[in-house]
């Protein structure tokens, strides 16, 4: 297994309990990714300076997917969603500025493309451009419909123009095969658990190998090449968040 993904709280606990080293948990060839996939209240109450202080103690290279707000609650008003996106971009600026000041060159940030449609993603353009973001992550668990998720990923790609996309929470091979070509990574737990017969005693290495190669092949060769919607395909998003229709 070449990658380990863990949320911030578990990573910090593991770090503190292992005499401040991850070496006991990771092999040299493994890539560590720390995420914000935990309780919304935990992420909202976590100050940026705490994150930076923790990351300054970690010596090995790793990736971080920051999260500080939510937009998917069906009871939220459009204004509340915009305010939540503003809060996210403000904290992203603080994170990048702080990392620059502290010289955290060993941390690769992969921010989330948060939002429900292209108008929300347009709110992220200026911040992503400012910090030269060329790869983003997007959550797949909040969107049960695969068609809707694929459309959302398409819109995010169209607006934010990345070089690569990581989808979190959807990694069944048949789902991965439906994603746009720019999706170059997937992560999750439940499909892996089911496919590999994970129990308290471990998992089947043979089933894992079979599942892993199915997912990898889906990422590399089995795309269906879905087309994005006409409205999305015929507009250019400016860095000020506006749109130009063709």
Do both 167 and 204 map to the same domain? yes
Do both 169 and 105 map to the same domain? no
Per-residue pLDDT of the chain (246 residues; tens, 9 = 90+): 677 888 898 888 888 887 656 666 777 788 889 988 777 677 777 889 999 999 998 888 999 999 887 777 778 888 888 888 999 999 999 999 999 999 999 999 999 998 888 999 999 999 999 999 999 999 887 778 889 999 999 999 999 999 999 999 888 888 888 999 999 988 877 776 777 777 777 777 787 787 778 888 888 765 555 444 433 333 333 333 343 332
Global model pTM greater than 0.85 = no
Residues 6 or more apart whose CB falls under 8 angstroms from that of 170 comprise 140, 141, 146, 149, 176, 186, 188, 191
Is residue 145 domain-resident? yes
Q: What integer pLDDT is reported at residue 104 of this predicted model?
A: 96
Do both 103 and 3 map to the same domain? yes
Name the domain count of the chain. Answer: 2
Q: What integer pLDDT is reported at residue 196 of this predicted model?
A: 74
Do both 36 and 79 map to the same domain? yes
Q: What integer pLDDT is reported at residue 28 of this predicted model?
A: 77
Is residue 234 domain-resident? no
Q: What integer pLDDT is reported at residue 235 of this predicted model?
A: 38
Q: What integer pLDDT is reported at residue 74 of this predicted model?
A: 75
Do both 13 and 64 map to the same domain? yes
**Phi and psi at residue 233, to the nearest 5°:** -75, -20
Do both 82 and 30 map to the same domain? yes
Q: What integer pLDDT is reported at residue 111 of this predicted model?
A: 96
> How many whole angstroms separate alpha carbon 9 and alpha carbon 16?
11
212 burial type by CB count under 10 A (0-12 exposed, 13-18 middle, 19+ buried): middle
Q: What integer pLDDT is reported at residue 19 of this predicted model?
A: 63
Is residue 245 domain-resident? no
Q: What integer pLDDT is reported at residue 211 of this predicted model?
A: 75
Q: What integer pLDDT is reported at residue 46 of this predicted model?
A: 86
Cα 209 from chain centroid (whole Å): 24
Q: What integer pLDDT is reported at residue 34 of this predicted model?
A: 92
Q: What torsion do the CA atoms of 134, 219, 68, 192 make, to the nearest 10 degrees?
A: -160
Is residue 125 domain-resident? no
Full residue range of the structural domain in which residue 161 is found: 135-221
Do both 25 and 68 map to the same domain? yes
Do both 26 and 91 map to the same domain? yes
> How many whole angstroms separate alpha carbon 124 and alpha carbon 71?
13
Do both 18 and 105 map to the same domain? yes
Residues 6 or more apart whose CB falls under 8 angstroms from that of 224 comprise 177, 178
The residues pairing with 243 across neighbouring beta strands, listed in sequence order, are 237
């Amino acid at each position: 297994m070449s990658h380990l993904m863990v949320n911030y709280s578990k990573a910090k606990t593991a770090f503190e309990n292992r005499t401040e080293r991850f070496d006991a948990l990771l092999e040299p060839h493994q890539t560590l990714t720390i995420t914000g996939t935990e309780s919304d209240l935990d992420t909202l109450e976590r100050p940026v300076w705490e994150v930076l202080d923790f990351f300054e103690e970690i010596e090995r290279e790793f990736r971080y997917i920051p999260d500080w707000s939510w937009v998917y609650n069906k009871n939220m008003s459009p204004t509340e969603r915009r305010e939540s996106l503003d809060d996210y971009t403000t904290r992203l600026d603080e994170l990048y500025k702080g990392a620059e000041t502290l010289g955290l060159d060993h941390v690769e940030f992969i921010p989330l493309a948060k939002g429900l449609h292209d108008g929300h993603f347009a709110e992220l353009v200026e911040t992503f451009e400012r910090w030269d973001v060329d790869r983003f992550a997007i959550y797949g668990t909040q969107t049960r419909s695969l068609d809707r998720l694929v459309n959302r990923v398409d819109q995010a790609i169209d607006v934010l123009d990345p070089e690569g996309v990581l989808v979190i929470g959807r990694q069944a091979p048949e789902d991965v095969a439906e994603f746009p070509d720019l999706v170059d990574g997937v992560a999750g737990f439940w499909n892996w658990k089911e496919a590999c017969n994970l129990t308290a005693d471990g998992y089947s290495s043979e089933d894992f190998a079979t599942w892993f190669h199915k997912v990898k092949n889906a990422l590399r060769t089995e795309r269906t090449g879905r087309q994005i919607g006409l409205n999305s395909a015929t507009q250019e998003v400016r860095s000020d968040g506006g749109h130009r229709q063709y």
